[in-house]
Amino acid sequence: MKLANMPYPFNPPTRVLMGPGPSDAHPRVLNAMARPLIGHLDPEFIRMMDEVKAMVQQAFITQNNLTFVVSAPGSAGMETCLVNLLEPGDECIICVNGVFGGRMVDIAERCGATVHRVDTEWGRVTEPDQIRKALDACPKPKLVALVHAETSTGARQPLEEISKLVHEADSLLVVDAVTSFCGVPLKVDEWGIDAIYTGTQKCLSAPPGLSPISFSEAAVRVLDNRKTKVQSWFLDLTMVKNYWSGAKRAYHHTGPVSSIFALHEALNIVLEEGLEARWARHQVVHQHLRTELEKRGFRFLVEESYRLPNLNSVFLPDGLDEVQLRSQLLNQYNIEVGGGLGAFAGKIWRVGIMGESATRNHVNMLVGALDELM
């Protein structure tokens, strides 16, 4: 059958990405994806995988040997951590102060675990006393999980005091770092994080579709001592880890070669800049954005001391239609910002200044467009 008007070329518009992700990618990263394909077990690709692993360890600030990249986006990283550590009948504590804590609860329950929720008002963070109370009710959880940077609200969760409480209970600390990785301080070994996952499309500024993760030795022992098979075949680390380690790689799946080329280049750019310099850049640009938005009547959702610099949730000035204004920004100025999720749908914007989008020029383009539209 002949289809009319074939072929169908697609030329995406050039956008200024200032939403909750993805962020703008560096031209070097985009060029990396155009390099010739090689096999996913090619010796040169395996050599590059080792370099990616080493760079992910540097970016996480960890010596964890079980550090690699899941061939799927951050949500698969979340699932990888939970399905490998939880078995039917296990108890766990999961902190919920936004959309992504709720997702962890759903996954843990699908694993057959008993979940003790610690619920906090959206836009706020979990306090250590809430963890103490949860540990009184569940003294020996297999793990305690929480979100370091809640993308639905822009709240940044302090981890160090909670980590101490978790380890005093002989439990594992599992952390969602999808929106914090390479944008704000994140120190896996120093903070005692046992399992962590992130994504590539936010402060790392690579294309979406991959999820770097890292497991501590304590988490690996839990994995090695499982009594049941991991719920997911594709995400079963007892098999996947053999594709990312050793001289002789065991075939598990066809790795996304071009995406890993892009990740390799993005990590190079991060380490060239330096983690501390990158963290500082995000903070400086956040202060510029804050000043300019507050001048125009925008109000921040999150208390300043817990505010993510790279994901800014703001209430619009009274009388503005957030959907209409957001649509005008996209259609007239090619600037993308995000709307609210869950309880904040239709009430806030989520303005991302992440990675390559964390520049004063991005802020100036946004506020210049707002001045014309408002």
Question: What residue type is assigned to position 332 of the chain?
Answer: Q
Q: Is 211 inside a domain boundary?
A: yes
Q: Is 4 inside a domain boundary?
A: no
Q: Are residues 226 and 279 in the same domain?
A: no
Q: Are residues 212 and 360 in the same domain?
A: no
Q: Are residues 218 and 366 in the same domain?
A: no
85 near 174, Cβ under 8 Å?
Answer: yes
144 near 81, Cβ under 8 Å?
Answer: no
98 near 155, Cβ under 8 Å?
Answer: yes
Q: Are residues 239 and 301 in the same domain?
A: no
- The range of the structural domain enclosing residue 329 comes to 16-21+275-373
Pair of tokens at residue 236: 């079963």
Residue where a domain terminates, one of 247, 270, 293: 270
Residue-level pLDDT at 184: 98
Q: Are residues 201 and 292 in the same domain?
A: no
Q: Are residues 145 and 192 in the same domain?
A: yes
**CATH code for the domain of 211:** 3.40.640.10
Q: Is 7 inside a domain boundary?
A: no
Q: Are residues 104 and 209 in the same domain?
A: yes
Q: Is 2 inside a domain boundary?
A: no
Residue where a domain terminates, one of 270, 303, 319: 270
pLDDT tens, residue order, the chain (374 aa): 455 566 788 899 999 999 999 999 999 999 999 999 999 889 999 999 999 999 999 999 999 999 999 999 999 999 999 999 999 999 999 999 999 999 999 999 999 999 999 999 999 999 999 999 999 999 999 999 999 999 999 999 999 999 999 999 999 999 999 999 999 999 999 999 999 999 999 999 999 999 999 999 999 999 999 999 999 999 999 888 777 776 667 788 888 999 999 999 999 999 999 999 999 999 999 999 999 999 999 999 999 999 999 999 999 999 999 999 999 999 999 999 999 998 899 999 999 999 999 999 999 999 999 999 98
Q: Are residues 161 and 248 in the same domain?
A: yes
**CATH code for the domain of 357:** 3.90.1150.10
Alpha-carbon gap, residue 256 to 128, rounded angstroms: 40
Q: Are residues 296 and 339 in the same domain?
A: yes
Report the chain's C-alpha Rg in angstroms: 21
Mention every residue, 6+ apart, whose C-beta is less than 8 A from residue 332.
369, 373
Q: Is 173 inside a domain boundary?
A: yes
pTM, 2 dp: 0.95
Q: Are residues 150 and 255 in the same domain?
A: yes
Alpha-carbon gap, residue 69 to 197, rounded angstroms: 9
Residue where a domain terminates, one of 210, 244, 270: 270
Q: Is 3 inside a domain boundary?
A: no
Q: Is 8 inside a domain boundary?
A: no
Q: Is 53 inside a domain boundary?
A: yes
- How many domains are contained in the chain? 2
What letter does residue 154 receive in the DSSP assignment? T
CB-based burial of residue 312 (10 Å sphere; 0-12 exposed, 13-18 middle, 19+ buried)?
A: buried
Phi, psi dihedral angles at 120 (to 5 degrees): -130, 145
Q: Are residues 137 and 230 in the same domain?
A: yes
Q: Are residues 288 and 334 in the same domain?
A: yes
Residue-level pLDDT at 2: 55
Residue-level pLDDT at 10: 87
